[in-house]
Structure 1
Amino acid sequence: MSASSAGSYGAGARVLSVGLALTGVVTLAYFVLATYALDARDYGAVSLLWSITFIVATVIYRPIEQLLARTVARGHTFGRVPALIQGGFALGFLIVALALRGPLVELFNGSQALYWILVGAVLAYAASYFARGYLAGSGRFELYGALVFVEATSRVLFPLAVVLGLASGQTAVALGIAAAPVLSLLVVPWALRRRARSAQAAQEGLSLRAGSGFAGGVLVIMAAEQTLINAAVLTTQATAPLLVGVVFNALLIVRAPLQLFQAVQGSLLPHLATAKAQEFSRALRVTVLAIAAFAGAVALGLLAVGPLVMGVFDIDYDYGRLGLAALGLGMGFHLVAGTLNQAALARDRAGRAAAAWVVAAVAFVVWLLLPVVDDPVLRMEVGYLGAAAGLAAMLGMTLRGGG
């Protein structure tokens, strides 16, 4: 791999890191404002809406983002195959959502509005994730960062309007979740204009069978990852509904850095897909060391001032320092696992990687359902750390094998 390619990876990661760091801050602001705009019951429902939206959208659309990133990076046009797969996933979601309308409305405390916001948001993210995959694969990292930043900024305007008295109610806050992915597509015309100038140089290099196989493997991985991130919110909704907002807020410690390090992962897969052995190993080593330093700093910060930081949320709960620090360490292991996962995908080991993710996710859910730790919040914090550490170890062993 040439020095210019390695430099492109590093520059892309830096550009995306800046954009996604700002996005993480704005996303946090959305939930802080929502706690002031809504009572605990309504905020819990919006938190649940967010969790379901991003579980579904990430599981069914991130595979296409990854497929496009790898395919476009190898010099092929994005073509009809990924679009067909993406359309099939979106249609499948719509059919299931309509069939489960009754239970979903009941889950949202009888709110028809939240149900339709869920449907609209997930369908809108089909276009958003497709655009992200193309932008990553073609090296347009500045537009990738702009897309997710516009999305987050658009979303935060809705609870801000409620706090300022320009709007009112749960529906007004929740509408931002559906409107944001639509508004974020304002950056796409710039990418397509450049694409039109170079389209003739690329060739279709992906069959429907190959594309579906790759997307299916990544779909399993994404389902397991979203289980790891969101299962605690759903199990708490079933066992201790008054603590849903508390658990969700604590997990923002995990979500915000994960969103930031999507910048690294977003530029890492296209880089590894064409990297030779020496550069492949170097990129992994540098990324993992950076994650370790970052996670260590976050864990120490949470140990020192974690409860004070969590006080920005208008929720009466005493967060423990050790539990928050455990979440910080777990986040670090999760980021390492995500990096190793990109390496596995680049080496066509999606099946092995998927098995590791499934084992970690199932173990985490079982832990959450067992009354080993009485406090549901502490149970989530300890379980997440253990599951993420185990996952990173399994993915590391996956890469050591041949084939």
Structure 2
Amino acid sequence: MTGPQADGYGRGAAILSVGIGVTGLITYAYFSLASHTLSEEDYGGITLLWSAVFITVSVLYRPVEQLLSRTIADRDARGYKGRDHLRVAGTIQLALGAVFAVAALALRGPIEDELFGGSSTLYWVLIVAVLAYAVSYFARGFLAGSHRFGLYGGLVLMEASSRVLFALAVAVGIASGQSVVALGMVAAPIVSLAVVPFALGRVAPAGRPPEVEAANARALDEASAGEPAGEPEFTLSHGSGFAVAVLLIMLAEQTFLNAGPLLVKAREGAGGAALAGFTFNVLLIARAPLQLFQAVQTSILPHLTRLRAGGESDPFRRTVNVTLMAIALFATGVALVMAAVGPSVMDLVFGGDFSYDRGGLVLISLGMGLYLVAATLNQALLARARARATCVCWLAAAGLFVAFLLVLDFDDRVLQVEAGYVGAALVLSGSLYALYRQQ
């Protein structure tokens, strides 16, 4: 099981790395075009809309994506053919979407007036985009668990490509205004679902030889010890604990990525949108590599789950260690680039009246590395069925980050966000590593 699984993991990560890497560059282009064509206040509204959309969809829908990815991979290894897990996951996703719709409609006044400065267009873009992403994230979980990594990459690539066309239309003069740029966030998840018919055309990947299936099934039966994903009949109770823990982890994750700009906007009042947009630009140094790292996150969870189920502890550790080493090298390289030419690059890409501090850019680069370390350890711990303890670490670190931003009062709000991000990422990665070392 080690050789074929290792090859499959490597191929999957490589395919996704290409697709998601290009996606990250296209997303960067979307914000660069928007930054150059919109006023600072209007661009700040776009960044706030982006933060609101992706906080919501990541918290609500990624738990089902990861639950599907883990469960489908496990059931495929065991040879189970039922679809109860798909119905359960679909029910959860529909319920979460309905809860969001009811809450967002009930809170229209505060969302539209206080967050979006009275823009009804941004409010409705938020509603429609979040509901569309319910289907998109379900498809992602299905594709990842089924090892359809090419289609997964195609989905996210189509999403980013369709979104950037709206910003490009404004940049070349075909259209104008904040509303057109914002509409790209609605079109993206809808257009990306064009890959779904291809996925449904073949529910499962090509089977392995019967003797391999049998050996895998025996190993999993002996080692999984009653984990939720291994039951022949998949019910809501089987996956609820995992899904709730991952939902809270996603809430903490989005706090790391988006609380900074949102709290800057809230604390600076009516004039805070431009500064929030600038803070968002700085944090793109941390956010953009996460687009590429999605390839690792997507493929590593089912891979590590299979290794643990088969009792293959050495390959498990090697996979984690190699990933951590690659992250360390990557983060060091980014920090060196930011130290050398960071301010010039950021000014060239985003323009504007703000100046980018070299030290702050290096800080964010190092924090990005620590955060990616934590994200890797998170997947390893989920594969080990340590979701609850992992969730506690995430919530504690995210709470520390928010407290740092709310309690302290720096003259330089951007520096406060940078320092808080790095400190909280250090606490998170350290606590998750301590938990990982317990087994």
Corresponding residue of 1:323: 360
Matched, 1:263 2:300: no
Cα distance between partner residues in 1 of 2:206 and 2:292: 30
Code of the aligned partner of 1:252: L
Corresponding residue of 1:363: 400
Checking the alignment, whether the CA contact within 8 Å between 1:114 and 1:174 is kept in structure 2 is yes
Residue pairs, 1:75-90, within 5 angstroms? 75=76, 76=80, 77=83, 78-90=85-97
TM-score (norm: length of structure 2)? 0.89
Code of the aligned partner of 2:391: A
Instruction: Give 3-state SS (helix, strand or coil) of 1:195's partner.
Output: coil
Cα distance between partner residues in 1 of 2:326 and 2:25: 20
1:213-265, CA deviations, whole angstroms, 9 ceiling, x for partnerless residues?
A: 21111000000010011110111001230311100111111111011101001
Corresponding residue of 1:97: 104
Corresponding residue of 2:183: 175
Corresponding residue of 2:320: 284
TM-aligned CA deviation for residue 269 of structure 1: 0.2
TM-aligned CA deviation for residue 198 of structure 1: 7.2
Corresponding residue of 2:219: none
Cα distance between partner residues in 1 of 2:204 and 2:252: 37
TM-aligned CA deviation for residue 203 of structure 1: 9.2
Code of the aligned partner of 2:376: T
Cα distance between partner residues in 1 of 2:277 and 2:339: 21
Cα distance between partner residues in 2 of 1:283 and 1:205: 31
Checking the alignment, whether the CA contact within 8 Å between 1:79 and 1:204 is kept in structure 2 is no
Instruction: Give 3-state SS (helix, strand or coil) of 1:146's partner.
Output: helix
Corresponding residue of 1:21: 21
Cα distance between partner residues in 1 of 2:67 and 2:361: 35
Code of the aligned partner of 1:282: R
Corresponding residue of 1:149: 157
Instruction: Give 3-state SS (helix, strand or coil) of 2:201's partner.
Output: helix
Corresponding residue of 1:211: 239
Checking the alignment, whether the CA contact within 8 Å between 1:367 and 1:383 is kept in structure 2 is yes
TM-aligned CA deviation for residue 205 of structure 1: 4.2
Cα distance between partner residues in 2 of 1:269 and 1:194: 22
Code of the aligned partner of 1:365: V
User: Which sections of structure 2, spanning at least 5 residues, go unmatched?
Assistant: 208-212, 214-229
After superposing the two structures, state which structure 1 stretch, 313-322 or 356-365, moved more: 313-322
Cα distance between partner residues in 2 of 1:237 and 1:334: 24
TM-aligned CA deviation for residue 69 of structure 1: 0.5
Corresponding residue of 2:225: none
Matched, 1:234 2:271: no
Checking the alignment, whether the CA contact within 8 Å between 1:85 and 1:212 is kept in structure 2 is no
Corresponding residue of 1:69: 69
Matched, 1:343 2:366: no
TM-aligned CA deviation for residue 164 of structure 1: 1.3
The one of 261, 266, 275 aligned to 1:243: 275
TM-aligned CA deviation for residue 194 of structure 1: 1.5
Code of the aligned partner of 2:152: Y
1:329-363, CA deviations, whole angstroms, 9 ceiling, x for partnerless residues?
A: 10111111011000111111111100000011010
Cα distance between partner residues in 2 of 1:196 and 1:391: 37
Code of the aligned partner of 1:25: L
Cα distance between partner residues in 1 of 2:200 and 2:87: 15
Code of the aligned partner of 1:105: E
Q: CA RMSD in A?
A: 1.7
Cα distance between partner residues in 1 of 2:23 and 2:374: 22
Cα distance between partner residues in 2 of 1:14 and 1:46: 32
Instruction: Give 3-state SS (helix, strand or coil) of 1:167's partner.
Output: coil
CA gap of 1:197–1:298, structure 2 versus 1, over 3 A, is: closer
Cα distance between partner residues in 2 of 1:132 and 1:154: 18
Matched, 1:334 2:342: no
Matched, 1:301 2:309: no
TM-aligned CA deviation for residue 37 of structure 1: 2.1
Corresponding residue of 2:55: 55
Q: How many residues align?
A: 401
CA gap of 1:92–1:134, structure 2 versus 1, over 3 A, is: same
Code of the aligned partner of 1:208: L
TM-aligned CA deviation for residue 36 of structure 1: 2.0
Corresponding residue of 2:390: 353
Checking the alignment, whether the CA contact within 8 Å between 1:356 and 1:391 is kept in structure 2 is yes
The one of 163, 168, 178 aligned to 1:160: 168
Matched, 1:221 2:249: yes
After superposing the two structures, state which structure 1 stretch, 368-377 or 163-172, moved more: 368-377
Checking the alignment, whether the CA contact within 8 Å between 1:128 and 1:184 is kept in structure 2 is yes
User: Which sections of structure 1, spanning at least 5 residues, go unmatched?
Assistant: none
